[in-house]
Structures are given as structure tokens and as C-alpha cells.
Amino acid sequence: MSADATTGGAVTAPGTAAEQVGEGRGRPGLASRLAARTTGGVLRIFLLVVALFWLLPTVGLLLSSLRSPTDITASGWWKVFTSPSQLTFTNYHTLLSNSAITDSLWNTVLITVPATLLVVVIGSLGGYAFAWMDFPGRDWWFMGVVALLVVPVQVALVPVAKLFGDLGIFGDITGVVLFHTAFGLPFAIFLLRNFFAEIPRELLEAARLDGAGELRLFLRVVMPLGGPAIASLGIFQFLWVWNDMLVALIFTNSDSQPITVALQQQVRQFGNNIDILAPGAFVSMVIPLAVFFAFQRQFVSGVMAGAVK
């Protein structure tokens, strides 16, 4: 039987089906052409422009902090490009000479660093326990941790303040660190538990067969693999605590207040203390920016790892 008979007399030439599909599709629409063009240099230029606009307030604050109070109140920060003689470090000398600001900056470090380290360490241990250890009520305990994620900070301010008062730590740096640690742990445990749960079970079983206990398994296997997620958590916690003002306003006094509260009090006398506000605000901003850019690679790795898994 011939090929004509088996196909009912219709012979299809090679490539005809593809041509018909191409004709059916027609020309790409306007949205498709625009999307194809923005995947190259145009998109990079757009993102660069967005990044420059994002950094513009930081640059403006830096230049304002290097101008005298008279120049700050008389004109905008962009005037330094036509009058570079306005730039001076006098404001930073005044800032460092202000004991209240320097003490508050040190208090911010004493609050932020322990609160970040405690959340990272305890959150890592909790995340590993919920991911790979069997204990009674594990799933119910984890559901309780998830439920704590939606509890607003404002709900706990009054009862925790009363508790700290009874314990004698109200107004002390210790109370602020404990508050930030307690409210940072639910998110930390939730994030790290989900990340650790994606580690291959065969890898952990092989380590157990080699005689590794739970602590050694956690330190030698889980922690190195979870480095990107732990770095991301550390960056988030550091930024949240460093920029916090609500908790600090309630739980600190004049001896333990961080930089955010100290600058807020200077705002009441804006006309007289603008030479302290501008450099103080820039110092308060540039430190978390430096931390973020220092750990940017680990942060991106953690985000991408979570997206792939």
C-alpha cells in the first residue's frame, strides 16, 4: 500500500506543520516585544537608576552632616557642588564631644549585638530540633511558634514592663535585649526550621553512622550548610534591633537609651541641635548599611537557596 493511500491521499511536506503553527501565532504583541527588550541593557540601566535614587537620601544626609548649621538652614545640601568650601568636619567633632550621643551609640551596640547573637544561636538550635529531632508534641510546639509570629509587639509592652519591674531590670539594657530576643525567636525558629528540613536525610544518617552525636551533627554538618540562611537571619535581626525606637522608648532610661531615642530627644530642639542631628542620623544609618553590604553575598545566597528549595 502506498503512502498516498495510508494517509488518505494527502501528503504533508516537511516543515509545513511548523510553518502553520508559526502562521497561527502571528507577530508577537507589543507587550512581548517590550519584555524581550527589557531583559538586556535597558533593564540594567533602569535598576541602576532606581539604586541611585535609593541612595540619594543617604548622600544628601552625608553632605548635610558636613555643612555648618547656618548653611544647612539657609540652603539645600546640593549647594555644596557649587560651594565646596561649606564642607567641614566640625559637626562630627561636636557629635563626638556630646557624651549623651556617644553613650547612646555604645548602648545601641550593647543592645543590638547580644540580641542578634542570642536569636541566631537559640533560633538555630530550635530550628534544628524541630526539623530533625523527635520529641513529644513536636508538631504542636511548632504550631505554637508559628502562632507567635502574628502576635504584635504592642500587646506585650505593658505586661512585660510590669514583669521587668518586678525583676528589677526595667530601664536596664538587659531587659531590652531579652525583649528583642523573645520577639525575634519565633521568626528565627520558623525560618531556620524550614531551611534545615531541606537538608538531605541521607547526609545526616551517614554522619550518625560515623558516630556523630546530635551536638556534633549540628555543629559540623547543619551549621555549615545553613550558613546562608543564618547570615540572612542575622542581618534581619540586626537591622530590626538597631533601628528600633518603640521598645527602647519604653524599656530604657537616660543611662541605657540607644541612638534612636537620643536623636529623637534632640528633635525637640531642632533649631539649636541641627549640627548634632545631621551627623548623628548619618552615623545611625551608615552602620546598618555597612553590615548589610558586608554580608550581602551571604544574604543573597540564603534568599536564593530558599527560593530554589
At 41, list the grid cell: 541593557
Query: What are 42-92's pLDDT values in tens digits?
Result: 777 877 888 788 888 888 888 888 888 888 778 888 888 888 888 888 888
Strand partners, 252: 171
The overall average pLDDT reported for the chain is 80
Is 60 exceeded by the pLDDT of residue 20?
no
Is 50 exceeded by the pLDDT of residue 258?
yes
Residue 210 pLDDT grade (very low, low, confident, very high; cuts 50, 70, 90) = confident
Structure pTM? Answer: 0.74
Query: What are 111-140's pLDDT values in tens digits?
Result: 999 999 999 999 999 998 898 888 888 889
**Exposure letters 101-136 (e unless 16+ CB within 10 A, then b):** bebbbebbebbbebbbebbbebbbebbbbbbbeeee
Residue 171, helix vs strand vs coil: strand
Strand partners, 171: 252
Least confident of 187-191, 218-222, 234-238: 218-222
Is 60 exceeded by the pLDDT of residue 178?
yes
CA distance 261 to 121: 28
